[in-house]
Structure 1
Amino acid sequence: MRVWAVSDVHTDYKDNMAWAEQLCSSRETREDTLIVAGDVSDDLPTFRRTMELLTRAYAHVFFVPGNHDLWCRKAERDIRDSLGKLALLEGACAELGVYTQPACVGGVWVVPLLSWYHASWDREPDLPGATPIEKIMMDFHACTWSSVPGLTPADDSIAWHMDSLNDPGTARVLAALDAAEAVSGVRPPLITFSHFLPDQRLLPEKRMLHHPNLAKAVGSDPLAARIARLRPAAHVFGHTHFSWDAELDGVRYVQWPLGYPAEQRRRGRPAADWRPMLVYDGARGELTSPRACYWSSHYAAVRRTPWDLTPAPWVAA
Structure 2
Amino acid sequence: MKLLAISDLHLANPVNREALAGLPHAPEDWLILAGDMAERLEHMRALFALTAERFARVIWVPGNHELWTVSENGADSGNGSDSLAGEAKYQALVDLAREFGVVTPEDEYPIWTGPGGPCVVAPLFLLYDYSFRPDDLPRDQVIAWAREGGAVCADEMLLNPAPYPSREAWCAARCDEAEARLMALDGAPTVLVNHYPLRRDLVHIPRIPRFIPWCGTRRTEDWHVRFNAKVAVSGHLHVRRTDWIDGTRFEEVSLGYPRQWDQKRGILPYIREILPGPPTMA
Shorter-chain-normalised TM-score: which range?
A: 0.7 to 0.9
Residue of 109, 112, 134 corresponding to 1:105: 112
Residue by residue over 1:151-194, the C-alpha shift from the partner in whole angstroms, topping out at 9 and shown as x without a partner, is 324xx32321222232563255x14x5xxxxxxxxx5x421110
Q: What is aligned with 2:12?
A: 12
Query: By how many angstroms is 1:260 displaced?
Result: 0.3
Q: What is aligned with 2:133?
A: 122
Residue of 263, 271, 276 corresponding to 1:276: 271
| Bigger mean CA deviation after superposition, 268-277 or 211-220 | 268-277
Residue by residue over 1:211-261, the C-alpha shift from the partner in whole angstroms, topping out at 9 and shown as x without a partner, is 221111102123335444312111000101111101112211001211100
Q: What is aligned with 1:181?
A: none
Query: Is structure 2 residue 152 aligned with structure 1 residue 136?
Result: yes
2:183/2:227 contact within 8 Å kept: no
The SS at the match of 2:126 is coil
Equivalences for 1:55-70 in 2 at 5 Å? 55-70=52-67
Query: Is structure 2 residue 199 aligned with structure 1 residue 202?
Result: no
Q: What is aligned with 2:100?
A: 96
- Which segments of 5 or more consecutive residues in structure 2 lack a partner in the other structure? 71-77, 138-143
Call closer, same or farther: CA 1:236–1:269 in 2, change over 3 Å: farther
Residue of 247, 250, 261 corresponding to 2:247: 250
Question: What code does the residue aligned with 1:8 have?
Answer: D
2:9/2:37 contact within 8 Å kept: yes
| Structure-2 separation of matches of 1:39 and 1:6 | 10
Query: Is structure 2 residue 154 aligned with structure 1 residue 159?
Result: no
Q: What is aligned with 2:228?
A: 231
Call closer, same or farther: CA 1:14–1:160 in 2, change over 3 Å: same
**Number of residues paired by the alignment?**
262
| Structure-1 separation of matches of 2:16 and 2:62 | 17
TM-score with structure 1 setting the length: 0.74
Query: By how many angstroms is 1:270 displaced?
Result: 5.0
Superposed CA RMSD in Å reads 2.8
Query: By how many angstroms is 1:43 displaced?
Result: 0.3
| Structure-2 separation of matches of 1:77 and 1:166 | 32
1:20/1:54 contact within 8 Å kept: no
Query: By how many angstroms is 1:137 displaced?
Result: 1.5
When Rg is computed on C-alpha atoms for both structures, the one with the higher figure is 1
Q: What is aligned with 2:73?
A: none
2:36/2:65 contact within 8 Å kept: yes
Bigger proportion of residues as helix: 1
TM-score with structure 2 setting the length: 0.82
Call closer, same or farther: CA 1:129–1:269 in 2, change over 3 Å: farther
| Structure-1 separation of matches of 2:281 and 2:14 | 28
Call closer, same or farther: CA 1:110–1:12 in 2, change over 3 Å: same
Question: What code does the residue aligned with 1:116 have?
Answer: L
1:104/1:110 contact within 8 Å kept: yes
The SS at the match of 1:201 is helix
1:64/1:195 contact within 8 Å kept: yes
| Structure-1 separation of matches of 2:181 and 2:208 | 35
Call closer, same or farther: CA 1:233–1:152 in 2, change over 3 Å: same
- Which segments of 5 or more consecutive residues in structure 1 lack a partner in the other structure? 178-186, 282-286, 293-317
Q: What is aligned with 1:284?
A: none
Identical columns (%) = 23
Call closer, same or farther: CA 1:263–1:146 in 2, change over 3 Å: same
| Structure-2 separation of matches of 1:230 and 1:15 | 38
